[in-house]
Amino acid sequence: MSRNTETVERYLDGFRKGDHEQILSCLTDDIEWTVFGAFHLAGKAAYDAAIEGPGFAGPPRLEVVRMVEQDDTVMAELTGSATRDTGEVMRMSMAEVFRMRDGKICERRAWVIELKENDHR
């Protein structure tokens, strides 16, 4: 496993545990995070504040379907679920692009699709 893939795995593990320190240790100070259709932010302080999204309770459950790497980019296909603060469970499919610099994530680009009917819709 490459250094970049190890960083992404450690990052995802931190998200699964809700461990801010572990997550932030995987990021550059000038990190940018975009969730298309939802938000864009920059910097570790803003990232830290957004780890627990509004309307959700507890860390998400995330499973890697596949991960590929080319040059300074790691791409991951994920499935998972997150519990809303109402107790409802949101199931989702995600595509994540992690741009790396010196073994740390300097940009995260995410596409999150809520699944309401089955594993495809």
Please give the C-alpha separations between residue 69 and each of 1, 36, 79, 82, in angstroms, as whole numbers.
Answer: 10, 21, 19, 26
Pick among 3.40.50.300, 3.10.450.50, 1.10.3210.10, 2.40.110.10: CATH of 3-115: 3.10.450.50
Intra-chain end-to-end CA distance of the chain, in Å: 33
Q: How confident is the model at residue 117 (pLDDT cuts 50, 70, 90)?
A: very high
What's the whole-number mean pLDDT along residues 59-73? Answer: 97
Per-residue DSSP letter, 43:
S
6 has a pLDDT exceeding 90: yes
Tokens representing residue 39 in the block: 């938000």
pLDDT tens digits, 24-33 = 999 999 999 9
Q: How confident is the model at residue 54 (pLDDT cuts 50, 70, 90)?
A: confident
What's the whole-number mean pLDDT along residues 75-84? Answer: 97
Domain regions of the chain by residue span: 3-115
Q: Is 9 helix (H, G, I), strand (E, B) or coil?
A: helix
Instruction: Return the half-sphere exposure (C-beta side, CA atoms, 13 A cut-off) of residue 79.
Output: 8
Tell me the whole-structure pTM to 2 decimals. Answer: 0.94
